[in-house]
Each structure stands twice: as structure tokens, then as C-alpha cells.
Amino acid sequence: MDDSISGSDLYRNVIKSLNAAGEVININPVALERLKTPRRSIIVSVPVRMDDDTVKIFPGYRVQHNQTLGPFKGGLRYHPSVNLSEVAALSALMTFKNSLLQLPLGGAKGGVAVDPTKLSKTELEGLTRRFTTELGPFIGSDKDIPAPDVGTDSQTMAWMLDTYSSEFGYAQTGVVTGKPVEIGGSLGRDAATGLGVVYISEKALATKGRQLEGTTFAIQGFGKVGMHAAIEAFKLKAKVVAVSDISGGIFNPEGLNIDELVRYVHENGVVKDYPQAQNITNEELLALEVDILAPCALDGAIDSNNVDSVKAKIIVEGANGPVTINANRVLYEKGIMVVPDILANGGGVVVSYFEWVQDLVWLFWSENEVRSKLKTIMTSSFDKVWDFARREQKDMRISAMSVSLMRLEKAMKLRGHAW
Ligand code: NAD
């Protein structure tokens, strides 16, 4: 595998959409060049004592892409495919997402190349604590604030907070977000990305004169993003006809009872073989004739190979980079709206921002307050992108990137030296 920073398809896709938007807004070429390369890339090796007393060493990464607007911010991923280039691409997406959503934050991402399902809880804790120690000099509430992503969760963040705080002798709650509520987490953080996906779906439907109620959804991925998107869509009376995870998908044209399905998944671990539906493959799910298709698993789910089979009317990117640039072009030409990741899955970082603010002032908000503030940001961000897309006759991806770049370029120019 090409292990250079530009070696992954995801990185090349991010650069392509950056170039395309840069051209539309006629961005300063120095600013564009600066945004193509991360500001700092940290590579560490993480030794872990396994339960059988052997020591295994895992590669870990933290890429800090840009901090013009504020401290670096972005998730940490535990997955076997994690590599420098993928993390760099995801860190750039965080910069563009935070700028688009008007947050005072820069962009970063990190991860460890490990399959967390193959480690015991003790091994995972050892890995997380050692990874935190290695990242220690580079993170902090005013420097870089990690959060959960694929393969990590609130428990991972709790271990990080504890390890980082032990260097200080008192709790550093603002160093991570996505923590358990008991130790400074925000109400509503767990569901935030999925909620945002549904708020954005509602806005996208409204552009076509449609409402959420009765709308059909297919959701790929039933993790932190996909499951909460399904729960919220079901609550708002949309018809979730199909969901999937790594084990495969399930389909019921009458709509799935998501509350029952969540109970089934808690007992069985996967969606497969859920009695009230038929099993389908992930590929079949992506080809279903639905109003909204929300890919909420990993990047590259819809590419040149399968784009022609997509029959959804609207695609809402719950995951980061699930539709490749080539597939995006084909869908746009067919009149299928693709709401891009930096807008569609921004709910997570918005509530992470709320969590960080609450930790800094030690004043906590109710879940309703969190949800209503989240909805305001998601809907106003959608409106900005939609207005740009109509005015300039561009697709939603280029439009979202353009709106984001305009704010970033202005801030970079004001700071001057940051170029
Ligand atoms: P997660 O680990 O909680 O869930 C991932 C889900 O995808 C699981 O159901 C898993 O079984 C499924 N999956 C994995 N590989 C698959 C495959 N090959 N085919 C089909 N399904 C597969 O992760 P998550 O936090 O839900 O993140 C999902 C995506 O959303 C990622 O791209 C992540 O970067 C992005 N994202 C997450 C957040 C967040 O707040 N968690 C915020 C913004 C974006």
C-alpha cells in the first residue's frame, strides 16, 4: 500500500473537491495550497501488554490539519484500515466541516490501526491509555480535543480523560468530548450525529416539497450514527425500510419497528436475521428505491462500480466520504441530491462543541436545549449551502465546500502569518 499522505482514494477525493470549490470561489492560490497539506502529522507506536502477557505494537496517528479558526478538533478511530493518508483526509474534512458550521474550531483526526473487536476490555484500556500518553504533549482543551469515531466510544474518552488528567493532578474535562455524562459529557451527544442526519434529511425533502412523515429511508451502518438516525426518523414517523451493518442488511417494505430492532441488536449484536424482515446484502440496500439513502458506515460505499444501481431520490452522507467524487458527478447529472458529509454529519461536532463549552464554564444544559440549539445550526447551515447551490448552479458538495472555504480564507487572510 502507498503509505504517503496522499496515498488513499479518500485523500485524493478530498483534494478534488477542494480544488473544485477553490476554483468556484476564486480562492487565493497560497491559501488553497496551504489547505492541501496538514499542519502537523503525529505518528506514534503504541505497545500493549496483551492478556496472554505478550506485547503487541500498534501504529497510531493524529493529524492536525488546520487551526486558523480555533483549537484542533476531530475524532479518533480504531479500525484495521486506519493509515496516515486516510486520517489526513478525515482531518481536512473536519477543518471544512467546522468552518461551514461556524464553529470556533480547527480540524484534526486520529486513530489506531487495530481491530477493537479482537481486543479484550483490559487490552483496549491499555491501548487507549498508552495512545493518550503518546499524544499528551499535543492535545488539551485549548490545543486539540479528540472525540469518538468508528470503533471508539464514551468509555474510550473516559480512559483518555483519566490518563491525560493524571499528568495534572486534577480533572481536565475539556480535553475530550463524547465523554459519559457523569464526568462532564453533554446530554444529547450520543444521538447528535444521527439527529443531525435526520434534521438535514427534513431540509433536503423540503426543497422538493416533501415532509418527513411517511418518507422511506434506507440506512447503511447501524452504529453510533446510523442507529440514532434510524431511531429519530422512526420517532418522527418516517418509514425506515432497511438498515445494515457489517453482517449484512435487513429489509421490510412496510417499515421496521426501530425500537424493537434496537432491542434485538442489543441482544444479538447484529441486525442480520431480525425476524420481522428479510435479509439483504449491503449492495442490495444501496440499490433500494427509497426517498432517502443514508450511508452511515465507512467511506467509498458508493463509487463508479455501483453508482448506476442507486435509485434513491436523495443521499444524505452520514459517514465521512461514502460517495466518491466520480459517483457524486453521476448522481448530480441524474438529478439525485447528495448532501455532503461536512454538512450532513456535522451534528456530532456541533454537540461536541456544546460539550466543550459546557465543560469550560461548568454549566450544563438540558437535552431539549442541546437539541434545539443543534437544530438551529444544522438548518441554518443547510440554508446557506442550498442558497449557494441555487445561485451558482452547483452541486451541494461543491457548494458546501465553497461556503466553508470563504470563511476560512477570510480568517487566514486576517491572521496573515498562518499562511
Ligand atoms: P460505529 O463504529 O459506531 O458504527 C459503524 C457501523 O458501520 C457499524 O454498524 C458497523 O457494523 C458498520 N460497518 C462497518 N463496516 C461496514 C461495511 N463494510 N459495510 C457495512 N457496514 C459496515 O461508527 P460511527 O461513529 O457510527 O461512524 C460511522 C461513520 O460516520 C464514519 O464514517 C465516521 O467517520 C462518521 N461520523 C461519525 C460521527 C460520530 O459522531 N460518531 C460524526 C461524524 C461522522
Query: Cβ(323)–Cβ(345) under 8 Å?
Result: no
Domains 39-170 and 192-335 in one fold: yes
Instruction: Look at ligand 1, atom 28, and give the residue with the nearest C-alpha.
Output: 297
Ligand 1 centre distance from Cα of residue 95 (Å): 20
Ligand 1 neighbourhood includes 151 CB (under 6 angstroms): yes
Q: How far apart are CA 238 and CA 215, in angstroms?
A: 5
Give the distance, in angstroms, between the CA of residue 376 and the centroid of all CA atoms in the same chain.
19
Ligand 1 centre distance from Cα of residue 90 (Å): 13
Rounded to 10 degrees, the C-alpha dihedral 79/156/150/146 comes to -110
Residue 121, C-beta contacts closer than 8 angstroms, at least 6 positions apart:
none
What ranges do the domains of the chain cover?
39-170, 192-335
Q: Which atom of ligand 1 is nearest to the CA of 270?
A: 11
> Which CATH code fits 192-335?
3.40.50.720
Ligand 1 neighbourhood includes 347 CB (under 6 angstroms): no
Ligand 1 centre distance from Cα of residue 249 (Å): 14
Q: How far apart are CA 241 and CA 217, in angstroms?
A: 6
Cell digits of residue 245? 451493518
Instruction: Look at ligand 1, atom 8, and give the residue with the nearest C-alpha.
Output: 223
Ligand 1 neighbourhood includes 193 CB (under 6 angstroms): yes
Ligand 1 neighbourhood includes 148 CB (under 6 angstroms): yes
Q: What pLDDT score was predicted for residue 99? A: 98
What pTM does this model have?
Answer: 0.96
**Choice among 36, 56, 73, 109 that is catalytic:** 109
Q: Which atom of ligand 1 is nearest to the CA of 152?
A: 2
Ligand 1 neighbourhood includes 319 CB (under 6 angstroms): yes
Per DSSP, 150 falls in state T
Q: Which atom of ligand 1 is nearest to the CA of 90?
A: 34
Ligand 1 centre distance from Cα of residue 154 (Å): 15
**Digitized pLDDT (tens) for each residue of the chain, 419 residues in all:** 567 888 899 999 999 999 999 999 999 999 999 999 999 999 999 999 999 999 999 999 999 999 999 999 999 999 999 999 999 999 999 999 999 999 999 999 999 999 999 999 999 999 999 999 999 999 999 999 999 999 999 999 999 999 999 999 999 999 999 999 999 999 999 999 999 999 999 999 999 999 999 999 999 999 999 999 999 999 999 999 999 999 999 999 999 999 999 999 999 999 999 999 999 999 999 999 999 999 999 899 999 999 999 999 999 999 999 999 999 999 999 999 999 999 999 999 999 999 999 999 999 999 999 999 999 999 999 999 999 999 999 999 999 999 999 999 999 999 986 56
Ligand 1 neighbourhood includes 224 CB (under 6 angstroms): yes
Site of grid cell 469515531: 149
313 labelled catalytic: no
Q: What pLDDT score was predicted for residue 2? A: 64
Ligand 1 neighbourhood includes 113 CB (under 6 angstroms): no
Ligand 1 centre distance from Cα of residue 29 (Å): 34
Q: What pLDDT score was predicted for residue 405? A: 98
Q: What pLDDT score was predicted for residue 417? A: 67
Q: What pLDDT score was predicted for residue 251? A: 98
Ligand 1 neighbourhood includes 154 CB (under 6 angstroms): no
Ligand 1 centre distance from Cα of residue 370 (Å): 23
Ligand 1 neighbourhood includes 297 CB (under 6 angstroms): yes
Outline where DSSP puts E strands in 215-260. 216-220, 239-245, 248-251
**Residue from 94, 228, 298 to probe ligand 1 pocket by mutation (most atoms less than 8 Å from CB):** 298
Rounded to 10 degrees, the C-alpha dihedral 293/227/296/204 comes to 40
For the range 123-127, what are the long-range contacts, defined as Cβ-Cβ under 8 Å and sequence gap of 24 or more?
A: 123/48, 123/50, 123/51, 124/78, 124/156, 125/159, 126/48, 126/49, 127/46, 127/48, 127/58, 127/78
Ligand 1 centre distance from Cα of residue 347 (Å): 14
Ligand 1 centre distance from Cα of residue 409 (Å): 31
Report in angstroms the alpha-carbon separations of 95 from 2, 66, 278: 24, 6, 40
Per DSSP, 185 falls in state P
Instruction: Look at ligand 1, atom 42, and give the residue with the nearest C-alpha.
Output: 348
Ligand 1 neighbourhood includes 91 CB (under 6 angstroms): no
Instruction: Look at ligand 1, atom 15, and give the residue with the nearest C-alpha.
Output: 246
Instruction: Look at ligand 1, atom 14, and give the residue with the nearest C-alpha.
Output: 246
CATH architecture, domain 39-170: 3-Layer(aba) Sandwich (3.40)
